[in-house]
Structure 1
């Protein structure tokens, strides 16, 4: 079943174009992280209809502590994100992506996020500033979360549905016309099984025309092949070959898409783990002020 074209009334369409264009211009005019944070703050103040209250607060007029906390929260410099704590992050890249990611998350908390036509065009514009690359015709729905944003590459006509987590602690590439369904988690990092504070980063790939369906989990360093399907709730631990259908926990290839048998890898050869080929090495800064959040004794009795 194909979808039908839906258009907004003329007045609403003009409002939408003006809204997206204004925010796009604000972000594009920012020459560095500080100006970008200012642009995001101004956008969120307007999105939440808080201009009068914000300016009063800025002018040192009295507001309650609760109101002050709400108004301060529009500024990404007054917020922290989980990914901010990751020791190996690229500090320069994160300084720019943090304000943009804050705008993404806070936009999704506004009523406009439920207006599909408004929200799709806004997120597509914002992705152009945030992601490493974004193709034409991308559709990004509500509740998408990411680690940084700046390590994500999306091809043309990619669809990412509601409540998807795109982990880009490593690098994530999603090919042309790929579809990532509701509730999918795609990872680019793994934790050591003994010392969970040790992290390895990888490049994870979802190929052209692939479909990762509802609630599936794609492990770091995996490639989901071109025109492949990952079944609902599957846990993908190994590569899925081009044109294969993989289901289960762990996911296994059960068949080749009808009509693609002559160009697909045989079922019996499927399921190779190539994670190590996609490892991304990193160095930690010499002056890192590290801390162990778990404080566990990691010396096993049999070592």
Structure 2
């Protein structure tokens, strides 16, 4: 391994250890939302202003809105619209996710000596299961949080999407490179509001290259590697290297040929991992698009509309000719360029 062990000054490390222990204790409190508000206000150096606001002192409207927004109960996040998620689990996870994303915007997120143990502590409370020795870097986007099972010694680099709208299982010693996307849900191609959730599995010792995308319901086998920029639409066999879009197996890892399956296309077993959708008996359905999902007839099939007098005349094209002082005039002046509409003046020739 080409990394060296680095320590910060003992007094600084002692302060960090004390702070992490304090945060861990606070996150175990039953009234979680007020706790999150206080932690965020403290992280952003707003503690005194937040106390004045809570004591009823008058503050400017923007300041009041900012201070109110430290409390997740006063904020709206996209996850709350997802009707297939249990509301009680969402509400608890929302508070912890709110702290997760807020922390990434704070100055302390740049100090890995604090940020790594902080995210480990937060994952212990947020994930369904969180292993030891996690190294979770900045900008990780988590959809829900409570649907993630993560093993020991997992490394997730910057700006990774961990979509757990379905169920996400990550084994031990998995490495996920920057800007990778791991999905657990799909949208219908016609009705975008129709969502199908899956279980997506990254087995032990998996490596995902930079910018790779794991489609919902895929299983990446033990010790497999997904190349940079690859998109998997099926299961990657153990010990294989898969690359491309859609990804296919390109080779077996050196030294693992005796225990690896034969090369070939990635088998698509996603339907086996499809999760049942359970919606509440009554809920206010929200469609942000409001699209017409019925097939439209072509213009050729609508003679009444084609003959309508209030429809503008179809655009016709005409050739552009060069003026007499142009060198092309002697050859007839046809330049091979066309005006888009004879009703508009010809464009200049140049």
The TM-score by the shorter chain falls in which range?
A: over 0.9
Find 2:173's aligned residue among 150, 165, 177: 177
Matched, 1:258 2:247: no
Map Cα deviations across residues 204-258 of structure 1 (whole Å, 9 max, x no partner): 0011001001011110000111000000011111110000000111111100001
CA shift, 1:49, in A, is 1.5
Matched, 1:227 2:223: yes
CA shift, 1:301, in A, is 4.7
Q: Secondary structure at 1:6's aligned position in 2?
A: coil
Scaled by the length of structure 1, the TM-score of the pair is 0.96
Matched, 1:274 2:293: no
Match of 2:203 in 1: 207
Q: Secondary structure at 2:22's aligned position in 1?
A: helix
Match of 1:121 in 2: 117
CA shift, 1:297, in A, is 1.2
> Taking CA–CA contacts closer than 8 Å with sequence separation of 6 or more, which of the two structures ends up with the larger relative contact order?
1
Q: Secondary structure at 1:267's aligned position in 2?
A: coil
Match of 2:13 in 1: 13
Alpha-carbon distance in 2 for matches of 1:170, 1:66? 37
Alpha-carbon distance in 1 for matches of 2:59, 2:235? 56
Matched, 1:24 2:19: no
CA-based RMSD: 1.0
Find 1:162's aligned residue among 153, 158, 163: 158
Alpha-carbon distance in 2 for matches of 1:56, 1:257? 61
Q: Over alpha carbons, which structure has the higher Rg?
A: 2
Find 2:280's aligned residue among 276, 285, 300: 285
Scaled by the length of structure 2, the TM-score of the pair is 0.83
Q: How does 1:18-167 map to 2 (within 5 A)?
A: 18-28=18-28, 30-31=29-30, 35-167=31-163
Structure 1 gaps, min length 5: none
Match of 1:243 in 2: 239
Alpha-carbon distance in 1 for matches of 2:73, 2:159? 25
Map Cα deviations across residues 155-184 of structure 1 (whole Å, 9 max, x no partner): 010000000010000000111001001000
Alpha-carbon distance in 1 for matches of 2:53, 2:131? 41
- The structure 1 segments of at least 4 consecutive aligned residues displaced by more than 2 Å after TM superposition are none
- Is the CA contact 2:81–2:286 (under 8 Å) kept in the aligned structure 1? no
Match of 1:187 in 2: 183
CA shift, 1:62, in A, is 1.4
Alpha-carbon distance in 1 for matches of 2:20, 2:248? 43
Q: Between Structure 1 and Structure 2, how many residues are aligned?
A: 297
